[in-house]
Amino acid sequence: MEVEQEKEAGTALMALHIPDADYDMLVIPYRDATENLLVRLNTLNRDYRLKYKNYPIHHIQNRIKHKKSIEKKLLKKNLPVSAEEARENLTDIAGVRIICYFEEDIYSVVSLIKKQSDILVLIEKDYIQNPKLNGYMSYHLIIGMPVYHTDGMEYYPVEIQLRTMAMDLWASMEHRICYKEEGIAPDKKERFRNISSELREMENEIKMMISG
């Protein structure tokens, strides 16, 4: 009886983790999708500079979700912890963050992405025109990126966040100070909301200085 209970406990424990080999196989096409997207974004940025003597993208970051993060996300969604469940239910295994100079650059890049006929726009959220209550601003896209295999093509989701440098500074600091700490003082959260607006005003002032 004890042996059976130990086996059941072991099985339950195993179900909380994705085997390393399964994780490695899971993320291969997401890496391919990300690399494909990065090539296109860099090409668009260079072409934009040639045509308009300017470029909208300051820099690009990318990541593939770690195995532990995938496991936590599945558990949070009350889903079985497996590579197959992750593939079927998660849209943020691959992530790309595009840091632009000004807000109008974000919308230019979004427009250029949408013009690519083989990219699917799955989810779109504009937190610039409609900031979150805590002051967070960003433009979110989840796209279906084509990945070509020897036996055909399949779409894989890539989460894209587009921010200005000021938005990215605010989001990074807010995440560290407010999101990561428990019981943060309400006045500190309120101050961060105000700083978000102040950074936006500063950014617009710099833009006017450059254009004027």
CA-CA distance, 80 to 5, in Å (whole number)? 21
Long-range contact pairs involving 12-16 (C-beta distance under 8 Å, separation at least 24): 15/80, 15/81, 16/71, 16/75, 16/81
- Answer whether 83's CB lies under 8 Å from 73's CB: no
Catalytic site residue from 88, 159, 181, 198 = 159
Active site residue 205: no
Residue type, 117: S
Residue type, 81: V
CA-CA distance, 94 to 23, in Å (whole number)? 13
The helix/strand/coil state of 37 is helix
Torsion sign over Cα 129, 134, 139, 144 = negative
CA-CA distance, 23 to 83, in Å (whole number)? 6
CA-CA distance, 145 to 140, in Å (whole number)? 15
In whole angstroms, how far apart are CA 2 and each of 7, 13, 14, 142?
A: 9, 16, 18, 48
Show which residues are catalytic: 159
